[in-house]
A and B are shown apart, each in its own frame.
Chain A
Amino acid sequence: GNSVTQMEGPVTLSEEAFLTINCTYTATGYPSLFWYVQYPGEGLQLLLKATKADDKGSNKGFEATYRKETTSFHLEKGSVQVSDSAVYFCALRSGGATNKLIFGTGTLLAVQP
């Protein structure tokens, strides 16, 4: 079945450091890929998405490229801020009548000033 694997946290960085959170997936067909962010005490917000191979999703300085050859969708940001501290979820959705959004286990990012 479809699945998402993402790196375990917590990831602790200093402000302005470079961020990478790894995500790989297993899916039949051609899924869409997503990164969601959950700030403390809040719901999930869509951060960015990519719907086909080689697409790059970007938002708020975050980027991720849909790599079909490596089945990956790694999240990157060049310079993190304290306000980026949150839990980040990689997810996929493969369409069809019973399709559902499948999440990775989440990665907690803590950015220190």
Chain B
Amino acid sequence: DTAVSQTPKYLVTQMGNDKSIKCEQNLGHDTMYWYKQDSKKFLKIMFSYNNKELIINETVPNRFSPKSPDKAHLNLHINSLELGDSAVYFCASSQGEGNTEAFFGQGTRLTVV
């Protein structure tokens, strides 16, 4: 019973390609996130959706476009991939707008060659 699942786990692609990462949570949470973890393990939030509505959009290039078809899914589409996009991308979810913890997926390691 995976709580937050993302696919694929590994993604290797060439520069200039377009790719998507999918995320689903079965916790009934209303808020979902995308985080990027760089090679030094630093975690930075990219986007947050609450009940399918975008509420946080950090300074992320507009080549990155999140899509939330329903509150259990938050997908990340990346256009025109660049070498610097190589990182581990984590999906997470939490309940409500309070101070509750977030639950994370296993991550998607994206390598752009």
Contact = CB atoms under 8 A, between A and B. Distances in A.
B64 interface: no
Given A43-B107, A93-B100, A98 B43 contact: no
B48 A100 contact: yes
B97 interface: yes
Interface of A: 30-32, 34, 36, 38, 42-46, 49, 51, 87, 89, 93-103, 105-106, 108
Contacts of A93: 99-102
B107 A96 contact: no
A99 B97 CA distance: 7
Given A97-B55, A98-B55, A46 B42 contact: no
27 contacts: A30-B99, A31-B99, A32-B99, A32-B101, A36-B104, A43-B105, A43-B106, A44-B43, A44-B90, A46-B101, A93-B101, A93-B102, A94-B99, A95-B98, A97-B50, A98-B56, A99-B99, A100-B33, A100-B56, A101-B33, A101-B94, A102-B45, A103-B42, A103-B43, A105-B42, A106-B41, A106-B42
Interface in B8-37: 33
Given A43-B106, A43-B107, A100 B45 contact: yes
Contacts of B101: 32, 34, 46, 49, 93, 101
Contacts of B92: 44, 101
A101 B41 contact: no
A101 B102 contact: yes
A103 B56 CA distance: 16
Contact of A46 (B40, B98, B103): B103
Contacts of A99: 97-99
B43 A97 contact: no
Given A97-B55, A98-B55, A106-B43, 6 more contacts: A32-B100, A94-B99, A95-B97, A98-B48, A100-B33, A101-B94
Given A32-B99, A93-B99, A101 B45 contact: yes
Contacts of A89: 43
B25 to A, nearest CB: 13
